[in-house]
Amino acid sequence: MRKPLIAGNWKMNKTMAETKELISAIAPKVKDADCDVVVCVPYTDIQTAKRAAKGTNIKIGAENVHWAQSGAFTGEISADMLKELKVEYVIIGHSERRQYFGETDETVNKRVQAALDAKFKPIVCVGETEEERESGMTETVLLRQVTEGLKGFKSKDFDKIVIAYEPVWAIGTGKTATATDANNTIGYIRHVLAKKFHRSIAEKARILYGGSMNVKNCKELMAEEEIDGGLIGGASLKADDFAFIVNYDK
């Protein structure tokens, strides 16, 4: 029903030369993938990534987008700028944006709207911190982030919106939720979508796991019913590792 999606998030890594080398190495390894393959790269690498991915099944995305068309927003990038670069996906609300750069559920909502207006496919990140998890607040946090971050969107918008559950305590720490825990939590997110929006939205929405999916755990995680793919950090910077995850079903 829901086609799996494996997306790489390069974060602040790779020069243009390194981008060309990495995508050229990944492409032949994932050409027969049964899932959608996406690589979200730094702004300076987008043109190089597009050229390197031309003629392949790899789609290119950005790591953020601002809600305004233009203006005094130093260091930000607009949807119009990204449209010229012909990206297809954009990550919004990543935990590092929330933690280090003041992203809120309100700004996530505005960025998602800008992305949809530009015909992008937003990958909207939600997830709890370790403190919130230990305090038993996981569901409370996810309810707020999903409800406020996606407030006002219609059923047709969810044809493009992808959600990524990324437990903040499992990002870059080497910790990973068990496959059962990840599946149950993503199942809760789907429950929220059904309750706050509509059951049909919950059924068609692709929800990825973004908490340190790697070559050791990808098959187990992807075997779970609720998990529709992965938002991959560190492992997406290594051609063999990323390709292994993309080909998890081989």
Q: Choose the catalytic residue: 63, 96, 103, 166.
A: 166
Catalytic position from the list 66, 94, 103, 128: 94
DSSP the chain: ----EEEEE--S---HHHHHHHHHHHHHHHTT-SSEEEEE--GGGHHHHHHHHTTSSEEEEES---SSSSSS-TT---HHHHHHTT--EEEES-HHHHHHH---HHHHHHHHHHHHHTT-EEEEEE---HHHHHTT-HHHHHHHHHHHHTTT--GGGGGT-EEEE--GGGSSSS----HHHHHHHHHHHHHHHHHHT-HHHHHH-EEEE-S---TTTHHHHHTSSS--EEEESGGGGSHHHHHHHHTTT-
66 catalytic per annotation: no
Q: Is 131 a catalytic residue?
A: no
Please list the active-site residues.
94, 166
